[in-house]
Chain A
Amino acid sequence: MKRQIVLGMIISAFSAGVAMAEVAPESVAYTDGAVAQSLTGTAGNPEEGRKAMVDRGLGNCVACHKAEMLKDQPFPGDVGPTLDGAGDRWTEEQLRGIVANAKMTFDGTVMPAFYKNSGYIRPGDGYTGKAAKEPIAPILSAQQVEDVVSYLMTFKE
Chain B
Amino acid sequence: MTLRTIKTALAATAILGCAFTGMTMADPVDEPMVIDGQNITIRAPAPEFLKGVLPEVLSGWLYRDEDTRKMELDDFDNPGIIYADRARDQWEVVDGTEGKACVSCHESPEAMKGLRAVTPRVDPDSGKLMNIEAYVNKCRTERMGAEAWGDKSDHMMDMLALISLQSRGEIINVAMDGAAAPFWEKGKEIYYTRYGLLELSCANCHEQNNGKYIRSDHLSQGQTNGFPVYRLKDTKITSAQGRFVGCVRDTRAETFKIGSDEFNALELYVATRGNGLAVEGVSVRH
Interface residues of A (CB under 8 A from B): 32-33, 62-64, 74-82, 89-90, 94, 105-106, 110, 112-113, 120-132, 136, 139
Listed A/B pairs (20) with beta-carbon separation below 8 Å:
A64-B214, A74-B216, A76-B215, A77-B212, A81-B15, A81-B19, A89-B11, A120-B196, A121-B194, A122-B248, A123-B196, A123-B252, A128-B249, A129-B248, A129-B249, A129-B255, A131-B254, A136-B197, A139-B197, A139-B252
Q: Is the interface of A mostly helix, strand, loop or mixed?
A: loop
Binding stretch for chain A, among B1-9, B141-149, B169-177: B1-9
Binding stretch for chain A, among B86-94, B122-130, B198-206: B198-206
Q: Is the interface of B mostly helix, strand, loop or mixed?
A: mixed
Interface size class of B (residues with CB under 8 A): 35 or more
Contact residues in B for A124 (Cβ distance below 8 Å): 196-197, 249, 251-255
Which 9 interchain pairs have the tightest Cβ spacing? A81-B15, A129-B249, A75-B216, A131-B254, A129-B255, A112-B198, A124-B253, A122-B254, A32-B5
Interface residues of B (CB under 8 A from A): 1-2, 4-5, 8, 11-12, 15-16, 18-19, 22-23, 26, 193-200, 204-205, 208-209, 212-217, 219, 245, 248-255
Given contacts A79-B213, A120-B197, 5 further A-B contacts (CB under 8 A): A76-B213, A125-B254, A129-B253, A130-B254, A132-B197
Tell me, in angstroms, the Cα distance from A80 to B219 when the chains sit together: 13
Nearest Cβ in chain A — how far from B191, in angstroms? 13
**Which one, A74, A110, A136, contacts B209 given CB within 8 A?**
A110
Give B194's nearest chain A residue, CB to CB: A121
Interface contact B193-A121, CB-CB below 8 Å: yes
Interface contact A75-B252, CB-CB below 8 Å: no
